[in-house]
Structure 1
Amino acid sequence: MTTRAPGRKNGGADARPPAGRSEVGALLRDWRLRRRVSQLELALRAESSARHISFVETGRAKPSEEFVLKLAEHLDVPVRDRNALLLAAGYAPRFARTPLDDPSMAALRTGLDQLLRGFEPYPALVVDATYQVVAANRGIAALLDGLPEHLLAPPPNAMRIVLHPEGLAPRIRNLREWRGHLLHQMERQIALQRSAELRALYEEVAAYPVEDPGEDTVTDGQVPHFALPLRIEHEGQVLSFMSSISTFNTPMDVTVAELAVETLLPADPATVKFLQDRG
């Protein structure tokens, strides 16, 4: 009895005798289960067959480099972990991880600085995968005025700054709601990524004590909110912001893939006037 090698449609993989689940097969299966995708659904997305996906996951077929990348794309695997998949399959990593201070990143740094400055007087910042702040504008600097040095010392971490009892937390009028939003955001990221560093950060900030901030007074005349606002007291005024997060499209570098630009949009006319008057 002979075994026919899967055709080109199946990613150019060569069949081999059953030999236990391969490392790349186990990783791909784990990512598929994380995404709650069946073998059949993944096969349809990748123009393959459920049988071939099963063979790859159990180690009966060795996937080609391009097929590994195709499955990773359809499973929305982070760029950093796509390198891990390639290594597990016996291939070289495809995506570099270039430090932001590398000369080749000069255009990126310039673009980010221009973006942040262009957003002023509204606050905006850039964070990496573990919420380390890599750039911020004057709007953010104003909100952080008066915070202790140990929270602002390089590299500052946005989650620590916001949730630490010596950070912005005492100034946030809807702290319990905003804290719950941030922790839920981190939980989703942890569920989708393999990051011990992010898990450690989550456990740290989730353990911070939370004092009762009292009533968050909201007047009937305020603009209706279409998303949860961040309501923060600053210079005797309660400012209200909506948070928007942007990432790079189709990044080819791990560093770039893990950057996120967060902008704080004024959520009411009073916040617009306050910031523009001080801009």
Structure 2
Amino acid sequence: MAENSIDPTFGRFLRFWRGVHKFSQEELSHRLNSSPRHISRLENGSSRPSEAMIEDIAEAMQMGDRDRNHLRIAAGYSPQQQRIDFHAPEFKWLRKAMLLTLRAMDPYPTTLMDSAGTILMVNRAWVGFYSATIPAAQLDKVTNHFDFLFSRQGAGTILSGWEDTLSMIVMSLKQDAMFNESPDKLAALDQLLNNPNVPSDWAQRASRLEPMASFRVQADYQGALRRFYSVSQIVGALGPAAYLSEPKLTISTLYPEDDTLDVSALAEGPLEHPLLLY
């Protein structure tokens, strides 16, 4: 791209959506109280839209949050995330799908959390895994996945070797929060930064590591230190805004590294927890 020229990505998006709605440049400019010449300059990359112009275009084309954010990203602006209530009536189908998913993950300990780390659901194996060492009254009060993992009263009592992993999680939350400064994400970040287990050099540690959705941890299981894979899967939108669109859910699962380690008993017997919904 030539020096001082503008990235043409936004122009490609604008031309595409004009075609979807069968708007000519003249018609779109009329709807935006602009000029066909300005629309042409936006499309050929010789002019960059303001944020207000992007919002006007999105309104004119009746775009949802996903496609509005694609326009913002294409023009070089941060996306705007709207907080979505996972428990709202319109997401009954999603809750059922996530419930079936967590049930299918038994006997491997699994949680479902939102973008701020709030735990929404757990499976039977999760309750069985942690209830062996954490009193039920304490386990029942768990609300945030990250806080629980590194708390010396929570999972931190049995998990070890998390210094680099914790640094990466803090870095991920920090950069995610910088996109839109969501109050929920900022609160989760502040709480995690105040955790005494966070290394003082977390930023330097994380800067030397590439983020991965999977990593290895050690856990005390049946009286012995065992290695597990911690695997996270993102449940979100497709496309460029996949990791920025709400509801952005994460399924986090522990798998034993040793194929011969039998964990089937974790999901057996009478198990109760406020977030165990089956």
Task: Give me the TM-score of the superposition, normalised by structure 2.
Answer: 0.61
1:61 CA drift (Å)? 10
Name the SS of the counterpart of 1:203 in structure 2: helix
Cα distance, 1:147 vs. partner?
A: 3.1
Distance 1:134 1:176 in 2: 25
2:128 to 142, 149, 153: 142
Q: How far is the alpha carbon of 1:161 from its aligned partner? A: 0.7
Shift in Å, 1:101: 5.6
Task: Note the alpha carbon deviations across 1:73-103, whole angstroms, 9 max, x for none.
Answer: 242835417xxxxxxxxxxxxxxx455163x
- Runs (4+) of structure 1 moved beyond 6 Å? 58-61
How many aligned positions are there? 213
SS in 1 for 2:252: strand
Separation in 2, partners of 1:60, 1:209: 43
How far did residue 148 of structure 1 move? 5.6
| Residue 125 of structure 1: how far off its partner (Å) | 1.6
Deviations 1:52-78 (A, max 9, x none): 533x34779954514684452242835
Q: Is the 8 A contact 2:115 2:250 kept in 1?
A: no
Q: Corresponding residue for 2:264?
A: 276
Aligned to 1:37: none
Over the residues paired in the alignment, what is the CA RMSD in angstroms?
A: 4.0
1:23-76 Cα offsets, whole Å, 9 max, x none, are xxxxxxxxxxxxxxxxxxxx99xx73545533x347799545146844522428
Q: How does 1:249-264 map to 2 (within 5 A)?
A: 249=237, 257-264=246-253
Seen in structure 2, the aligned counterparts of structure 1 residues 72 and 278 have a Cα distance that, compared at 3 Å, is closer
CA contact (8 A) 1:127 1:134 kept: yes
Q: How does 1:44-63 map to 2 (within 5 A)?
A: 48-50=43-45, 53-54=48-49, 56-57=50-51, 62-63=56-57
1:194-233 matched pairs, under 5 angstroms: 194-210=181-197, 227-233=214-220
Partner in structure 1 of residue 79 of structure 2: 77
State the Cα distance separating 1:163 from its structure 2 match. Answer: 1.6
Distance in 2 separating the partners of 1:139 and 1:63: 48
Q: Which amino acid aligns with 2:70?
A: E
TM-score under structure 1 normalisation? 0.61
| SS of structure 2 residue aligned to 1:244 | strand
| Residues 97-151 of structure 1, C-alpha deviations (whole Å, 9 max, x = no match) | 455163x433322221111111110122211222111111012112322436676
Distance between the aligned counterparts of 2:149 and 2:222, measured in 1? 17
**1:181 maps onto 2:168 in alignment:** yes
- For residue 102 of structure 2, what is the amino acid of its counterpart? L
Taking structure 1 as reference, are residues 107 and 258 closer, same or farther at Cα in structure 2, changes over 3 Å only? Answer: closer
| 1:114 paired to 2:114 | no
Question: Would you say the 8 A contact 1:125–1:136 is kept in 2?
Answer: yes
1:129 partner SS? coil
CA distance in 2 between partners of 1:61 and 1:193 (Å):
16
Higher relative contact order at CA 8 Å, sep ≥6: structure 1 or structure 2? 2
> In the alignment, which of 54, 57, 65 is matched to residue 59 of structure 2?
65
Structure 1 gaps of 5+ residues are 17-42, 82-96, 213-224
Aligned-residue sequence identity (percent) comes to 10
Structure 2: which 5+ runs fail to align?
Answer: 1-23, 200-211, 240-244, 268-278
Q: In structure 2, give the amino acid aligned to 1:53.
A: R
Aligned with 1:232: secondary structure?
A: strand
1:152, distance to aligned residue in structure 2 (A):
3.8
Distance 1:133 1:226 in 2: 18
Which of 171, 185, 191 aligns to 2:178? It is 191
